[in-house]
């Protein structure tokens, strides 16, 4: 996984049977997605592409809506594998999938620390959206460069570790919006 985030299971998120409400899984994934996007500011770009401070400013602008374009979740698919029982900690790993000029996919795996088992897998399609014009738009150049660099690093890691890249589900239409 490209990035990992530890999430706590709270009692208030549980049903009577002490298992975590399904909506909490989606919350954990959204937190991990925001964490992954913020981590783009730490990507090392070639000097001719942009400086670290320029990338940091671009990520902040992209995430906080200081410009007109920002990320919007187009679709989210969640497959529940096992219930999470209170008390527990869940690790959410995030991995970059397909990338296009105006969108990218993130895959997530959720693992219970108490049981060590996979409790869920998710896939989200994030589109760059111009909030002023109310239409999709191309990813900003520095954001796209950081995503492309992250994808190169991920592919290199896959080759080194022998980890296959998980293909997207066939039901996701990556090109349409």
CA torsion sign, 131 to 133 to 134 to 140? negative
Two tokens at 162? Answer: 């022998």
Provide the percentage of residues in the chain whose pLDDT is more than 70: 81
Residues whose CB falls within 8 Å of the CB of residue 57, separated by 6 or more in sequence, listed in order: none
Residue 100 pLDDT > 60, yes or no?
Answer: yes
Instruction: Examine residue 55 and state whether it is found in any structural domain, yes or no.
Output: yes
Any idea what the CATH number is for the domain that residue 68 is in?
Answer: 3.10.129.10
Strands 135-136 and 118-130, bridge-based pairing: antiparallel
Average pLDDT, the chain: 86
Instruction: Examine residue 92 and state whether it is found in any structural domain, yes or no.
Output: yes
Residue identified by tokens 């399609």 is: 125
Instruction: Examine residue 97 and state whether it is found in any structural domain, yes or no.
Output: yes
Instruction: Examine residue 110 and state whether it is found in any structural domain, yes or no.
Output: yes
Residue whose C-alpha is closest to residue 109's, from 95, 117, 121, 97: 121
Instruction: Examine residue 83 and state whether it is found in any structural domain, yes or no.
Output: yes
Q: What range does the domain containing 33 cover?
A: 3-161
Q: What pTM was computed for the model?
A: 0.84
Residue whose C-alpha is closest to residue 88's, from 48, 124, 116, 47: 116
Q: What dihedral do alpha carbons 165, 34, 99, 96 form, nearest 10°?
A: -10
How many structural domains comprise the chain? 1
Q: Answer for the pair 107, 21: CB distance below 8 angstroms, yes or no.
A: no
Q: What is the pLDDT of residues 119-158, one digit of tens each?
A: 999 999 999 999 999 999 999 999 999 999 999 999 998 8
What's residue 145's pLDDT? 97
């Amino acid at each position: 996984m490209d990035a990992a985030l530890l999430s706590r299971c709270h009692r208030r998120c549980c049903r009577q049977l002490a298992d975590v409400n399904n909506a909490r899984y989606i919350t954990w994934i959204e937190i991990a997605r925001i964490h992954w996007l913020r981590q783009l500011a730490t990507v090392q770009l070639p000097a001719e592409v942009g400086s670290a401070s320029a990338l940091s400013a671009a990520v902040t602008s992209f995430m906080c809506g200081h410009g007109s374009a920002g990320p919007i979740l187009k679709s989210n698919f969640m497959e529940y594998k096992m219930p999470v029982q209170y008390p527990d900690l869940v690790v959410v790993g995030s991995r970059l999938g397909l990338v296009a000029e105006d969108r990218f996919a993130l895959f997530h795996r959720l693992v219970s620390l108490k049981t060590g088992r996979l409790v869920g897998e998710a896939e989200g399609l994030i589109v760059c959206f111009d909030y002023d014009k109310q239409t999709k738009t191309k990813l900003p150049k520095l954001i796209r460069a950081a995503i492309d660099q992250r994808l190169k690093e991920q592919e290199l890691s896959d080759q080194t570790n022998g980890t296959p890249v998980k293909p997207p589900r066939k039901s996701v239409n990556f090109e349409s919006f």
